[in-house]
Amino acid sequence: MRGSTPRHPRNTVRRVEQRWSVEQVAAVAPNAAAVASAEPLAVPRRWASTGCDARAVWGKCLGSGAEPYDTMVDHSLADGTGAAWRCSCPSRRRPCKHALALLLLWVRGGVPEAAPPPAVVAWITGRTPHQVVEPVETTDTTETGDDSPPAPPPPTDRGDLDRARDERVARMRAGLTELDRWLADRMRTGLADPALARYSTWDALAARLVDAQAGALANRVRRLAGLVGASPGWHADVLAELGLLHLLAQAGLRLGELPDGLADRAATAVGWQVRHADVLAGVPDTDDWFVAGRSDVREDRIEVRRVWLRGVATGEWAMVLSFAAYQQSLDDSFTVGAVVRADFHRYPGRSLRVLVSRTKVVEPVETTDTPKVVEPVETTETIAAEVATTVAGACDAIGRAVAAEPWLERYPAIIRATPTFADGRWVLTDATGSLALAGEVDGRATLLAASAGAPVAITVEWTPRGVVPLAVHLADRTLDIGPRADPSFVGAA
Amino acid sequence: MNAPSESAAEAWAELVTAALLGTDRRPVPDLPAGALADMVADGVHTDPADRMLAAVAAMAVARRSAFVPLPPAASLQPPEPDPRPIIPAVAAATWREIVAEWPVLEDEWTLAVVHGGWQLAADVLVATLARHRTDPVRLARVGRAAGPLAAWVAAHEPALAATGRRAVPPGAVEALPDLPVPPELAELLAVDAHTFVGALVPRVEVATPSLKPVFVNLLARCRPEVLADTAAALATQPFGLALALADLCRLRSRMLDELRPR
């Protein structure tokens, strides 16, 4: 056994994300309404003199008043200081909608890199006099329209960076320890405790995990809250999830003792963020990727889209994740049933999740305005027919994946089976067995109609509560039947 | 200590029961003898709650990893076969566009499916069943377009079955519903393309937006032969109403092309 010192993060603070995700912006918002009210302001025409660097993002929000609001955000979660915001608006809510809008604009790449103006430098310096402000690569002030003098050269003390990394690790470890203590308390008092029926119980735990920078665990806790009372057997579902949270907490506390790949995947599952640049710096998996299915899931204030792709040559699965807060658009660049030639960069630990660095549609060329239906293409039909497995084969593959990564919540498979109704529930069946179907009526009914009682090739997404049908691969077309985001929540693509 | 459970399923049920009450009131059940029980016992858990957590985690992982299928189930009795070909994928996409942008065309689209000798695709069938379950005429039209599959799906998915049992008037399924068109425009319903464009475009040029439904009704019921020229003429006009009507013309023309009888 190796030493108990956490091996993750392995190198330096540079491993952590510097630009946030939309999900993180929503997480710091006081509520969903705040994100919604920020959204109309998150457009370049509402801002002037914007700029960002490795530590902060700033700008002047052009509101209805005579004077613009001076807004600045310290986004250096990665530095261990925690985010902070400052705005000259009269709102008492923090972060205000201007700070959230500025963050959203920055997340979408709408804020150019620039040298911070003196007011920002003074604020940042005043907040944390010992923190490092990393040098920015772009200091051309003409890009921002900011005529303030360039900032003095920032310090680059590596020791400070390491200290910040250590602080973050310590904070996360403290959060995991507290989580495990909370779980033990639940075991002590029992699942019948009325406190578990209150969302605030879970939300408070999730908030503490966010503070500990274990965002992925916080999201998991919020999903778990939705299981309470959701079905007659919810106690068993909740108990299993509590057990897995315990497993993740323990894994997070013992990253140094885990094998390399597992440690990376555990770190990601706990919430350790990885810079996109670091992921993209890895060796890509280049292949023709069959877009096998798509599913949209609402998680708290965010709509999450998973697109499952299968390498035509390697047979390996990959998953592209995208997020949308209220009235934002989900990534629609992959059409279910298509084949794309792409370079995929996997997250650490040969994760299912990938980032895409280069794509080219191989087959089919989309011939309709809607992504729902794909024209007949022999290639995709052949792919689905060739890789479709039996129900037992799918169970085997899913079981192996879960054994390798026990906290896995979703895993894809392509099955040739028939939908049928047995013992009071819908299942997919073949000669080797049956799988319980989960998901919405529309998807299931379309699957039923497409099969007309005969076996069909189907992409499904395993979840602990059954398999969700995502796509039906017919001889002449692919039907995208996965759960779709509520159009009143997400904006048009 | 409790006697070890006989099976994993029993052990899990006991863990759930104990977790429901809490370890303050119920002892932690022992897992069945084997690797899981050994693994949990290997941990130093002096506190019952910690031991319970370890047991729950181990069992949860084991249950999910040992993912085995349910027994095979009998297939459903399939619907009567329908020899008609399924509508092209592009026609299904056009239907979605019609529903989203120009629902006035939907009745004609469904009749074009029937008259073209096509069968509804599965995704369109389910969407139309859900959309028209309270409208007996349109539902009957969908039934005609989808064949035996429509009743079969509705029988298995009650959420898609018809609501109420209102009678369908004779001939209503085959006929397009009347759309109000003023007499001075109604005379254009039977003219050639040149006359149609010459009479329509000047009227659209001076029309207010409130007259849009009138022109929409006219273009939804005019002879298909005039659509291409009308779309081309309207598309050159620099105002929104003309451009919208040009879009309607193009969509109707495309829909009829896609569903031309085989």
The stretch A258-274 carries a mean pLDDT of: 89
Contacts of A481 in chain B (CB under 8 A): 123
- Give φ, ψ of B200 to 5 degrees: -80, -50
B3 band by pLDDT with thresholds 50, 70 and 90: very low
CB within 8 Å: A449 and B153: yes
Q: How far apart are CA B13 and CA B35, in angstroms?
A: 19
Q: How far is B239 from chain A (nearest CA, A)?
A: 24
B230 band by pLDDT with thresholds 50, 70 and 90: very high
pLDDT tens profile B174-223 = 999 999 999 989 999 999 999 999 999 999 988 888 889 999 999 999 99
Contacts of B94 in chain A (CB under 8 A): 368
**Cβ atoms of residues A27 and A218 within 8 Å:** yes
- Residue after which a domain boundary falls, among A337, A366, A395: A366
* Domain around A390: 385-480
Q: What was the pLDDT predicted at A9?
A: 36
Q: What was the pLDDT predicted at A132?
A: 32
Q: What was the pLDDT predicted at B57?
A: 95
- A491 within a domain of the structure (yes/no): no
B6 band by pLDDT with thresholds 50, 70 and 90: low
C-alpha triplet A393, A399, A405: angle, nearest 5°: 140
Q: What was the pLDDT predicted at A42?
A: 86
The stretch A280-304 carries a mean pLDDT of: 90
Nearest to A432 by CA among A410, A413, A450, A452: A413
Domain extent listing, chain B: 6-65, 84-177, 179-262
Q: How far apart are CA A67 and CA A198, in angstroms?
A: 44
**Cβ atoms of residues A459 and A414 within 8 Å:** yes
Asked if A389 and A422 sit in the same domain, the reply is yes
B20 band by pLDDT with thresholds 50, 70 and 90: very high
Contacts of A185 in chain B (CB under 8 A): 49
- Residue after which a domain boundary falls, among A210, A235, A270: A270
Q: What was the pLDDT predicted at A143?
A: 30
DSSP category for residue A391 = H
Alpha helices by DSSP H, listed for A10-154, are 22-28, 32-38, 97-107, 118-127
Q: What was the pLDDT predicted at A490?
A: 82
The answer to whether B100 contacts chain A (CB < 8 Å) is no
Asked if A265 and A292 sit in the same domain, the reply is no
Name residues whose C-beta falls within 8 Å of residue B158's C-beta, 6 or more positions apart in sequence. Answer: none
CB within 8 Å: B69 and A434: yes
Q: What was the pLDDT predicted at A125?
A: 73
**Residues above pLDDT 70, as percent of chain B:** 97
Which is more confident, A427 or A136? A427
Structural domains of chain A, count: 4
- A152 within a domain of the structure (yes/no): no
DSSP category for residue A254 = T
Q: What was the pLDDT predicted at A157?
A: 63
- A488 within a domain of the structure (yes/no): no
pTM reported for the whole predicted model: 0.75
Asked if A118 and A51 sit in the same domain, the reply is yes
DSSP category for residue B209 = G
The stretch A236-256 carries a mean pLDDT of: 95
Residue that is written with structure tokens 């599965």 in the block: B122
Q: How far apart are CA A359 and CA A289, in angstroms?
A: 10
- pLDDT above 50 (res A162): yes
The answer to whether A191 contacts chain B (CB < 8 Å) is yes
Write the DSSP assignment of B24-92 as a string of letters: TTSPPPPPPTTHHHHHHHHS---SHHHHHHHHHHHHHHHHHHS--PBPP-PPPPPPPP--SPBPPHHHH
- A461 within a domain of the structure (yes/no): yes
**Mean pLDDT rounded to a whole number for chain B:** 91
A304 band by pLDDT with thresholds 50, 70 and 90: very high
CB within 8 Å: B123 and A481: yes
Q: What was the pLDDT predicted at B167?
A: 83
Asked if A48 and A135 sit in the same domain, the reply is yes
Nearest to B72 by CA among A421, A432, A458: A432
Q: What was the pLDDT predicted at A18?
A: 59
Residue that is written with structure tokens 């946030």 in the block: A20
pLDDT tens profile A471-492 = 999 988 999 999 999 888 886 5
A66 band by pLDDT with thresholds 50, 70 and 90: low
**Mean pLDDT rounded to a whole number for chain A:** 81
Q: How far is A473 from chain B (nearest CA, A)?
A: 12
DSSP category for residue A67 = S
Q: Closest-CA residue in chain B for A368?
A: B90
pLDDT tens profile B117-166 = 999 999 999 999 999 999 999 999 999 999 999 999 999 999 999 887 77
AA letter at A332 = D
The answer to whether A120 contacts chain B (CB < 8 Å) is no
Asked if A73 and A137 sit in the same domain, the reply is yes
Q: What was the pLDDT predicted at B16?
A: 96
Asked if A35 and A138 sit in the same domain, the reply is yes
- Residue after which a domain boundary falls, among A113, A144, A175: A144
Element (H, E) at A159: helix A158-189
The stretch B59-74 carries a mean pLDDT of: 93
Q: What is the arrangement of strands in the sheet containing A456-463, beginning at the earlier edge strand?
A: A373-374, A478-480, A466-473, A456-463, A411-422, A425-430, A433-436
Q: Which residues pair with A322 in a beta bridge?
A: A305
CB within 8 Å: B79 and A453: yes
Asked if A238 and A298 sit in the same domain, the reply is no
Exposed (0-12), middle (13-18) or buried (19+): which is A408, by Cβ within 10 Å? Answer: buried
- pLDDT above 60 (res A385): yes
Q: What was the pLDDT predicted at A133?
A: 31
Q: What was the pLDDT predicted at A158?
A: 64
The answer to whether B208 contacts chain A (CB < 8 Å) is no
The answer to whether B25 contacts chain A (CB < 8 Å) is yes
The stretch B246-254 carries a mean pLDDT of: 96
Q: What was the pLDDT predicted at A493?
A: 44
Q: How far apart are CA B206 and CA A132, in angstroms?
A: 67
Asked if A22 and A91 sit in the same domain, the reply is yes
Residues 308-327 of A with CB under 8 A from B: none
